[in-house]
Amino acid sequence: MPEIAYVNGCFSPIGEAVVSVEDRGFQYADGVYEVLATYGGEPHGMEEHLLRLERSLGELRIECDIREYGLEGIIREAIARAGFKESLIYVQITRGVAPRRHEFPLASSGVSPTVVLTVKELARPQASWYETGVKVVTSPDLRWKRCDIKTVALLPNVLAKQQAAEAGAFEALLVDETGRVTEGSSTSSFRVLDGEIWTTPLGGHILSSITREALLRAARDLGIAVWEEFSLLEDYLQADEVFLAGTTAESIPVVQIDDTAIGSSGAPGPVTMRLRAAFLEMLS
């Protein structure tokens, strides 16, 4: 069965899967999500994704015990049913279906979370992105102060990504009101200076990216110094190298920010490519 969905216990072809118009995910973006990719058929970082999902649910007080629910088994069953060589898995859990009132439904109303999952074929990033690097644009970071929660409320991210798409750029680099780069609209961001890596510290400004964690671990293993500190946009513009990371992007070199070329070579830099090699090794 290609491109399948799972909604509250039922598997179906993706086009047949539906949720209620009164789902709070639809009406209030009152829900959280995860995106996982398989390598060699195995979901990468499954436990990290489950832990982040549990944390997101907890922060929003959505009562859903994903261990008791058997979410990991359901993800694995969905991957097997879809039968792709490599899969992209989307998991979304909302507070559930209830008459539209801003406050949470009463516990006594028996409202239960909506659990949705889709499985599609994974498209790995294009090889050309690593050979030549990509261009990004900058965009104001209009998001709220709890970007650490992976909620489906992604409108600022969507608008920034659309700005990038219209400019023919790969990604929008988000810049806060004080001139600091936070991250990409759907990626973490990093800059390299004199062989050392800087990236935004964890906290409400960014998502605690699983790929970011893996790359920082790989960097430390390679003896590369890592600074989890804020950087200004001008630091990014003057960097030797800039790169992005995420589940679908993996790790991607950036060679241009708006009209500014990054580094002196105009090509992906050595630290970026060393880390990419280490990351690919981790996936294999």
Of the pair 105, 203, the CB lying nearest ligand PDD is at 203
Q: Is residue 247 part of the contact set for ligand PDD (CB under 6 A)? A: yes
One of 87, 186, 251, 272 touching ligand PDD (CB under 6 A): 186
Work out the number of other CB atoms within 10 angstroms of the CB of residue 260.
12
Tell me, what DSSP letter sits at residue 125? P
Query: Which listed range, 23-31, 131-139, 206-214, 276-284, lies at the site for ligand PDD (CB under 6 A)?
Result: 206-214
Q: Which of 85, 120, 150, 161 is catalytic?
A: 150
> Binding ligand PDD by CB under 6 A: which of 125, 248, 256, 282?
248
d(CA 275, CA 218): 7
Question: DSSP alpha helices (H): ranges in the chain?
Answer: 24-28, 46-59, 66-69, 71-82, 127-132, 155-166, 210-221, 233-237, 270-283
Q: Say how many residues touch ligand PDD, by CB under 6 A.
A: 14
Binding range to ligand PDD, per CB under 6 A, among 79-87, 160-168, 181-189, 222-230 = 181-189
Q: Are strands 180-184 and 196-199 parallel, antiparallel or unpaired?
A: unpaired
Interatomic CA distance for residues 283 and 190, integer angstroms: 20
Instruction: Tell me the backbone φ, ψ of residue 114, rounded to 5 degrees.
Output: -95, 125
150 belongs to the catalytic site: yes
Site for ligand PDD in 63-102 (CB under 6 A): none
Beta carbons of 33 and 91 less than 8 angstroms apart: yes
**Region from 71-79, 161-169, 232-240, 243-251 binding ligand PDD, contact rule CB under 6 A:** 243-251
* Cβ 40 vs Cβ 79: under 8 Å: no
Residues at the interface with ligand PDD (CB under 6 A): 35, 157, 183, 186-188, 207, 209-212, 246-248
What positions carry a catalytic annotation? 150
